[in-house]
Amino acid sequence: MSHSKTALVTGGTRGIGYGIAEELASAGYDLVLGYQKNQERAQDAKGHLEGTYKVRVFLVGGTTEEEATVDAYFACIDENFGGKLTALVHNAGAYYGGIAPGKPDDNGSWFQGWEAYEYYQGMYPKCFIRLVEKAVTRMEDERGYIVAVSSPGCNNNQSPFLSYLMPGISKSSMEYLVRHYAKQLAPRRITCNVIIPGFAKTEAWDPMIERMGADRTEGMVKSYGMKRWSSPREYGGVVAFLCSEKAAFVTGVTLPVDGGLHLGM
């Protein structure tokens, strides 16, 4: 007898998140997908996933404060899936004010101010804690998977990007939390891992391309590793593996999925 599987993917209707949603749907997961503003895109994603993979998809969006957003996610899970969750993927991300950091201030500092700091702390480690603390009460022992999505340069194995200071601080904290929860949840055999994407040509890169210019951005991509952009589903395949029984003995891992970018930074 096969059991139903349910996954919550934050930021799951566009970009990398949608690639993750597609791969999870193809593996038989019903989905709760978080989104922020683009309701039309969210509805398109829902229609495609349900029509193509014959799974159930629920959308949760429109809220901006992380506590209210997390409460809405789990209200949806409780109402539609009897309070049962198999996988949690925290993928959501954005730039403060919608603008990628451009250059340091006159004093050479990349610090964008305390409002930006709080914004990124709320989006990454604080939201991740809220998500995990609720998720684990809805997961069965030996059948729970947690994955976070980080960025290059946010741990001691990679050189930091100076312009990524503010979100980088927050994602570094989230990577530590992944290791913490992996250790805490190991006796329950619930796994917790993090992936680090490389260059993914999604809408999230638009502010960076606008700031740097298309030619300079292409030059950067072609100077590392496999010298190409990735597709969202290349990340989705890895996440779907980590959210499967095949990866039941993999936990506390920080996994670059970047075509070799981390080897040449």
CATH class of the domain defined by 5-263? alpha beta
Output the pLDDT for position 205.
74
For the chain, the residue count is: 265
Mean pLDDT, the chain, whole residue set: 92
Residue spans of the domains in the chain: they are 5-263
Per cent of the chain over pLDDT 70 is: 97
Q: Is the pLDDT of residue 1 over 50?
A: no
Dig out the tokens for 229 from the structure. 């952009």
Nearest to 158 by CA among 17, 264, 21: 264
Output the pLDDT for position 43.
97
| Average pLDDT, integer, range 124-134 | 97
Output the pLDDT for position 224.
84
Beta-carbon contacts of residue 59 (< 8 Å; ≥ 6 apart): 13, 32, 33, 35, 42, 43, 46
**pLDDT, tens digit (0-9, with 9 covering 90-100), for 93-113:** 988 887 777 788 888 998 999
Q: Is the pLDDT of residue 149 over 50?
A: yes
Amino acid symbol at 9: V
Q: Cα dist. 129→173, 181, 211 in Å? A: 11, 9, 32
**pLDDT, tens digit (0-9, with 9 covering 90-100), for 51-82:** 999 999 999 996 667 889 999 999 999 999 99
- Kindly report which listed range (16-30, 158-172, 219-233) carries the lowest average pLDDT score: 219-233
More confident residue, 50 or 202: 50
| Average pLDDT, integer, range 182-188 | 98
Output the pTM of the full model: 0.94
Output the pLDDT for position 204.
76
Task: Measure the CA angle with vertex 94, ends 182 and 119; round to 5°.
Answer: 80
Sheet holding 29-35, edge to edge: 57-61, 29-35, 5-10, 87-90, 144-149, 190-197, 254-257
More confident residue, 161 or 136: 136
Q: Is the pLDDT of residue 89 over 90?
A: yes
Q: Residues 72-75: contacts with CB within 8 Å, 24+ apart?
A: 73/8, 73/10, 73/32, 73/34, 73/131, 73/134, 74/134, 74/135, 74/138
Q: Is the pLDDT of residue 261 over 70?
A: yes
Output the pLDDT for position 63.
66
Q: Are 20 and 9 in contact (CB under 8 A)?
A: yes
Q: Is the pLDDT of residue 191 over 60?
A: yes
